[in-house]
Amino acid sequence: MEYTPETREQLILCCECGTAIPPNPANMCVNCVRSIVDITEGIPKHATVHWCKNCERYLQPPATWMICDLESRELLALCLKKLKGLTKVRLIDAGFIWTEPHSRRIKVKLTIQKEVFAATILQQAFEVEYVVASMMCPDCTRVMAQNMWKAMVQVRQKVDHQRTFFYLEQLILKHGAHADTINIKEVKGGLDFHFAQRAHAIKMCEFLGSMVPTRSKTSEQLISSDIHSGTSNYKFTYSVEIIPICKDDLVVMPSKMANALGQIAPLVLCTRVGNSVHLIDIKTLQTAELTGLSYWRQESVKSISGRRDLKQFYVMDVDPVGPRSGRFVLADITIQRMADVGRNDDVIIVRSHLGGILKIGDSALGYDLLTANINDENFDKLNPDDIPSVVLVKKTYPEGRRKRKPRNWRLKSLSKDEGDLAPKKQDQEKQEIDFEAFLRDLEEDPELRSGVNLYKDANTNVHSRQAGAMESDMDEDDNDDENELPEVPLEELLEDMKLNDDESEGEDDVRMGME
């Protein structure tokens, strides 16, 4: 019978407490090692997670908000990322400890390992408690903010002046189209109208389309969504572009488009812009209307010269030769460039529609096509014999006489937000020049005044006394010429009535109709 010796485990005494333990490199029991070394040191036992009670999302630093269910893997990963010291230990296990949902507490049990001595690895379990703090996310903050707009109408026009927006501003005031706006922001190239409801923005787009030729585009942006009801909140932006043709612009179009508009000449002058563009052939007084739909379909009709290209001419003779069309009379007019008056005998005979407006000795503004540099494909295709030397646009008056005679009326204006940056001094001067040109258009064009409310100036008497004192020192000839300046009849002016201060909350007091 073979003898099998019995093996016994060798035990040693712990160097700290004297307990018999199996041999290990530390020669200490587990309890003594734990009392000497804490592997959880450096790992926070309390932390905070931020939760938005509106959209029920949690903040994942630095700026990400994510939806996490209770006791989900996503929420566990978010909690573990809040603990900075986990990178120095080995994570063995992690799990949630049940807590009351309304307690705003999240408890996580962690099991970690770490080498404490040579060839000695210690494993330890501990709990981390998280406090759920309420914090509104940026999306919900914008929703809850006061004067939060839900729809915006961006109105733009690709031109180098602001006269169209001055006219639109008066139309909006007259029809009360700004009543539903919560903010009007003045930006480069146009205006932004903010509304609290989408229907109000659609109404504004329809109003603008009924006043001037426009086209619009719509875009939307998701703001927030309710996971319980399945509803979403959107922001709507309506981009409205106004046709880039203005009053007194010289317009050229392809022959195909001209034939479609009633066999009108390809080179025409814009006399008015309403819900359509009114064009006139200066050689025949033939008129046509260009709708926004026809323009945006091809966009081949272009304005080749504007107000800034006008030159001044001296009228030497007016010879009516043809028919009448309203206030326009066809005539052959002999003119001379104002710079050539008294220097040479270079005169130009042009056919114009201003035969009933201009007289001998008047000054007129027009486009000098002989010296103009026009780069346009449709203009280059025109027959040179059909291109006039000069296109007269309007009668003009000396600046000195205008300044001596103040206006007895004024305009109201919308209360607009200038935005983050105030306009530069150069832009302000340009805007003042455009506004003065708009005021002169109102004086000279009764049809344009019909869509605008003009108010009596309370300081008319003061200005009249000053003007009377200046006129007393002038010659009778100057007074006769001054009486020819276009004026707004008194019966067209309205009394500015203010029942209380609240009525003018959405408007500035006035914009003075003065030099």
Whole-number pLDDT of residue 214: 93
Whole-number pLDDT of residue 460: 61
d(CA 37, CA 211): 82
Whole-number pLDDT of residue 197: 86
Instruction: Report H helices in 228-376.
Output: 255-260, 292-298
Are 436 and 515 a contacting pair, CB within 8 Å?
A: yes
Are 422 and 465 a contacting pair, CB within 8 Å?
A: no
Specify the 3-state DSSP secondary structure of 270.
strand
Q: How far is the CA of 243 from the CAs of 77, 78, 287, in angstroms? A: 56, 53, 19
Which structure tokens are listed for 104? Answer: 């705003």
d(CA 124, CA 113): 6
Instruction: Report H helices in 286-338.
Output: 292-298
Say how many residues make up the chain.
515
b (16+ CB within 10 A) / e for 247-258: bbbbbbbbeebb
Contacts of 40 (CB under 8 A, 6+ apart): 112, 124, 126
Whole-number pLDDT of residue 469: 44
pLDDT digits (tens, 9 = 90+) for 294-313: 898 877 889 999 888 999 99
Whole-number pLDDT of residue 515: 40
Q: Residue 170: how many CA atoms within 13 Å on its side-chain side? A: 22
Whole-number pLDDT of residue 402: 62
Contacts of 410 (CB under 8 A, 6+ apart): 454, 455, 456, 457, 510, 511, 512, 513, 514
| pLDDT by position in tens, the chain (length 515) | 576 777 777 888 888 888 888 887 777 888 888 777 888 888 899 999 999 988 889 999 888 899 999 889 999 999 999 888 888 889 999 999 999 888 899 999 999 998 877 777 888 899 999 999 998 887 777 666 655 788 999 999 998 888 899 999 999 999 989 888 888 888 888 899 988 889 999 999 999 999 999 999 999 888 778 777 778 888 899 999 999 999 999 999 999 999 998 889 999 999 999 889 999 999 999 999 999 888 988 778 899 998 889 999 999 999 998 788 888 899 999 999 988 888 888 899 999 999 988 999 899 999 999 888 888 888 999 988 889 999 999 998 877 556 666 788 888 888 887 765 556 777 788 888 888 888 888 888 888 888 888 888 877 654 554 554 444 444 444 554 444 677 788 877 888 765 444 444 445 544 544 44
pLDDT digits (tens, 9 = 90+) for 6-27: 777 788 888 888 888 888 777 7
Which structure tokens are listed for 188? Answer: 């480069």
Contacts of 61 (CB under 8 A, 6+ apart): 81
71 phi and psi, to 5 degrees?
55, 35
